[in-house]
Amino acid sequence: MKRMSKLLPLLLAAAMLLALAACGGATGGSSPAPTATPAAEPFKVGIIKMMDHTALNDAEEGFVAALRDNGLVDGENLIVDYKNANADSNNYTTIADQFVMDKKDLVLAIATPAAQAMAAKTADIPILATAVTSFTEAGLVDSDEAPGGNVSGTTDMNPIAEQLDLMFRLCPDTATVGFLYCTSEDNSRLQVAIAKEILDEKGIAYVERTVSNQNEVQQATASIVTECDAVYVPTDNTFSASMPLVQEVSVEAGIPVICGENGMAESGGLASLGLTYYDLGYQTGLMAVEILQNGADISTMPVTGASNFEYYINGPVAEALGLEIPADLQEFIRIPEA
């Protein structure tokens, strides 16, 4: 027992020395292990698309490609929430409310109704819109040059005068032009109003048929082809989604259809001089990069439009109508992909 009592103080002293050595190693001359820098939260981007059809899908694809090409990759440093409203007003509201609740960093709205629905729900989240013909007519911005709020983007206003000139070149005997469009689309009403002014100046007569939804397209088309020599369809989303049906009725009646954009000509019209929606979406995506990566102020970002337009002539439709394409336009004849 005496021997143990003598060893105990020695053991305690040794333990204290070891503890001090350990503390000195942790706080002495060597630097502490570096802590990992927390990874930045990925940007949250919502996409609200009016409906599913070629032009709007192309715009969506181009937008995402621009983000990816500039280092913003879905699933890595970016989370993209894709929503399709299917042209339903209730869906617009639900999607817009969800995006606001999710506190998206930015929203892409594809087509005028989608942009209007989103803008009605938030004045804080940056909203870039594309496939919108007139941002001012739609009440989305103060002006194209200085939007002044949380909305900007790219316009798909097409070269209407040149498209009508194309109609008269391909169909020189046209005396009466027919217009087909959806009354609920501001973009369509604006384009038709411009086209009517042009025809008035030329002294060309015109008639029109309008629809409120896709279910009325066949009847409207069947009616108007009995009263005109050629039909003009603006960049109307309702008709764009129904061009195969328009083709069936118009070709059977022998009436050519000139379209507001090339995708519509490819899917059933005769021809167009139009923009490429993929490029328009890409252009919008570059604006998104400026906002997300560089902190650009959307209220000062001007609304921009396409700078390049391309001819598109649907070869099978032209053949079915028995039309002879002028020599200088034959290079633009295309065979749509199946």
Rounded Cα distance between 209 and 199, Å, is 17
Neighbours of 307 (CB within 10 A): 8
Task: Assess whether pLDDT exceeds 70 at residue 34.
Answer: no
Averaged pLDDT for residues 324-333: 97
Degrees to nearest 5, angle at CA 310 with 304 and 313:
140
Q: Is the pLDDT of residue 217 over 90?
A: yes
Domain covering 43-156+276-305 in this structure, CATH number: 3.40.50.2300
Q: Judge whether residue 11 has pLDDT over 90.
A: no
What is the reported pLDDT for 277? 93
* Residue 280 in this model has a pLDDT that exceeds 70: yes
Residue 9 pLDDT > 50: no
Q: What is the mean pLDDT of residues 270-297?
A: 96
On the question of a common fold for 43-156+276-305 and 160-274+310-334, the answer reads: yes
175 compared with 14, residue with greater pLDDT: 175
When pLDDT is averaged across residues 273-300 and rounded to a whole number, the result is 96
Q: Above 60 in pLDDT, residue 272?
A: yes
248 pLDDT more than 60: yes
| pTM, two decimal places | 0.82
- The neighbouring-strand residues paired with 311 are 273
Segment 186-209, tens digit of pLDDT? 999 999 999 999 999 999 999 999
Residue indicated by tokens 């650009």: 296
CA-CA-CA-CA torsion sign (100, 102, 107, 110)? negative
pLDDT at 298: 98
Average pLDDT, the chain: 91
One DSSP character per residue, 83-143 reads EE-TT-HHHHHHHHHHHHHTT-SEEEEESHHHHHHHHTT-SSS-EEEEEES-TTTTTS-S-
**pLDDT 10s digits, 14-32:** 444 444 444 444 444 445 5
pLDDT, average across residues 284-290: 98
Which pLDDT value is given to residue 307?
A: 82
Average the pLDDT over each of 1-5, 61-65, 151-155, 294-298 and give the range with the smallest value: 1-5
Mean pLDDT of the region 95-119? 98
Read off the pLDDT of each residue in 307-333 and give the average, rounded to a whole number. 96
Mean pLDDT within 168-173: 97
Task: Choose between 169 and 37: higher pLDDT.
Answer: 169
* Range with the poorest average pLDDT among 24-38, 76-90, 132-146, 212-226: 24-38
Which CATH homologous superfamily contains domain 160-274+310-334?
A: Response regulator (3.40.50.2300)
Domain limits of the chain? Answer: 43-156+276-305, 160-274+310-334
pLDDT of residue 7: 42
Model confidence band, residue 33 (pLDDT cutoffs 50, 70, 90): low
For the cut 80, the answer to whether the pLDDT of residue 247 exceeds it is yes
Quick one: DSSP state of residue 330? G
Virtual CA dihedral for 216, 221, 227, 230, nearest 10 degrees?
A: 140
| Residue 47's pLDDT band (cuts 50, 70, 90) | very high
CB 330 within 8 A of CB 169: no
Residue 44's H or E segment, with its range, is strand 43-49
pLDDT value at 140 more than 80: yes
